[in-house]
Amino acid sequence: MRENLQQLAEQWVSEFNKYLSDVVELRKQIHSSPFVSGEEQPTTDLMIETMSVRLEPVAQTGAVGRIGPTEGASIGIRGELDALPVTEETGVEWSSTNDAMHACGHDVHLAALAGVIRAAKNLDLPYGLVPILQPREETYPSGALDIAESGKLQQLGVRHVIGAHVHPSIPTGAVAAGSGFVNAAAGEIAISVTGKGGHGAYPHNGCDAAVPTAQIAVGISEVVRRIADPMSPALVSIGTIAVGQGAANVLPRSGRIFATVRSTTSAINEHIVEAIRTMATGIATGYGCTVNVEYKPGEPELVNAEVLSEKFDAYAASLGIANAETMRSMGADDFSFYGEICPSLMCFVGVADSDNETASLHDPSFLPSDEALSNVGKTMIAGYIAAAEAISESEG
């Protein structure tokens, strides 16, 4: 089976290369006309037209479908549709023509996926192939969650989902797809402190919300240190602290804290939030104020399936993609929702240049080279082949 799959992988790459010039042009077209989360329909329409496949709408502006064998198991490959509300600073002729930008590589992922699908239509696939055009990767509510909960992937027979994401910390020509924990479980916490306003000269007549808000903010890091296992990464990063209206002699009646909570599991996040709620309540009460703590869970932890990771490394290497050190971070990706319905694999594709000056993800100057298109395409192909071998083994 492995020999046959290896031959298929090589044929697939050969077919993909025939479309590579089209893939490059499609990337430029997608990049120059980006659409932010929830407004991606024109990009979806362009992808469907380019791939010339019949897809069903899902998650408002997304789409899924199936090519290859119409019965039995299938393998999904994701491409993210949305751009970011970022003003581009790359200076290329095909820069964004509006106030959005593909600053996270989604243009590369989509164009490569289109090439992979077009090439696959010329081959005899062992299992179905499901292109997943996913909206709202960058915002809540998550497009991946909506797709996972829609039941459409199950209806299409999806047994595994493959994702490929460019990353500037990995050298060009390499890919990281190690098994186990890859990205954090994430959520957002909002803390509102309410007191009683007053004159700065008479603090005893009011209930100053600034002091308890500040003490809660300082106390958060100590709570994390005492609640979370030091051997298991966990953090709470405060993004916003707001009190008062700008006057020096007016005691603020309210304060707000917005923060992100991240750890290796959603359960740990919940535990941390409960400890913060207890701490915040004690501090606010001690100053005669009240406090409200709200938690909005986000993505669960992203875990790469071992059965896919090991097989992927071998096939990727055979296609000229080096295996990089496993990528693990406290970042989050809603690809993890697919992992909750089937064993899945996220592959981080290197785009770092030789002088290590590649811009970061979400930076206005982030612009992977055309070489990334080929490497992402090969990665998607290797992912499908690895999943096909896993399915074959499970079927005996």
Give the pLDDT confidence score for residue 169 in this predicted structure.
93
Cβ–Cβ under 8 Å, residues 207 and 195: yes
Answer with the one of 246, 270, 297 that is the final residue of a domain.
297
Q: What is the mean pLDDT of residues 173-194?
A: 97
β-pairing verdict for 302-304 and 180-183? antiparallel
10 Å CB burial of residue 186 (0-12, 13-18, 19+) is buried
Predicted model pTM: 0.93
Give the pLDDT confidence score for residue 236 in this predicted structure.
98
Answer with the one of 265, 297, 329 that is the final residue of a domain.
297
Q: Has residue 356 got a pLDDT over 80?
A: no
- Whether residues 170 and 215 share a domain: the answer is no
- Distance between CA atoms of 269 and 188, rounded to whole angstroms? 10
- Distance between CA atoms of 135 and 130, rounded to whole angstroms? 16
Q: Has residue 1 got a pLDDT over 90?
A: no
- Whether residues 78 and 191 share a domain: the answer is no
- Per the structure, the complete domain to which residue 254 belongs is given by 185-297
- Whether residues 211 and 105 share a domain: the answer is no
Give the pLDDT confidence score for residue 246 in this predicted structure.
84
Question: Could you tell me the sign of the dihedral formed by the alpha carbons of 387, 388, 390, 391, in that order?
Answer: positive
Q: What is the mean pLDDT of residues 171-178?
A: 97
Cβ–Cβ under 8 Å, residues 337 and 299: yes
Kindly report the number of other CB atoms within 10 A of residue 7's CB atom. Answer: 10
- Whether residues 46 and 119 share a domain: the answer is yes
pLDDT > 70: percent of the chain: 99
- Whether residues 23 and 6 share a domain: the answer is yes
- Whether residues 7 and 69 share a domain: the answer is yes
Structurally, how many domains does the chain consist of? 2
- Whether residues 35 and 78 share a domain: the answer is yes
- Whether residues 9 and 128 share a domain: the answer is yes
Q: What is the mean pLDDT of residues 10-18?
A: 99
Q: Has residue 357 got a pLDDT over 90?
A: no
pLDDT in tens, 319-343: 999 999 989 999 999 999 999 999 9
CATH of the domain at 336: 3.40.630.10
- Whether residues 287 and 318 share a domain: the answer is no
- Whether residues 16 and 91 share a domain: the answer is yes
Answer with the one of 242, 277, 297 that is the final residue of a domain.
297
Q: Has residue 354 got a pLDDT over 90?
A: no
- Whether residues 85 and 154 share a domain: the answer is yes
Give the pLDDT confidence score for residue 111 in this predicted structure.
99
- Distance between CA atoms of 330 and 308, rounded to whole angstroms? 22
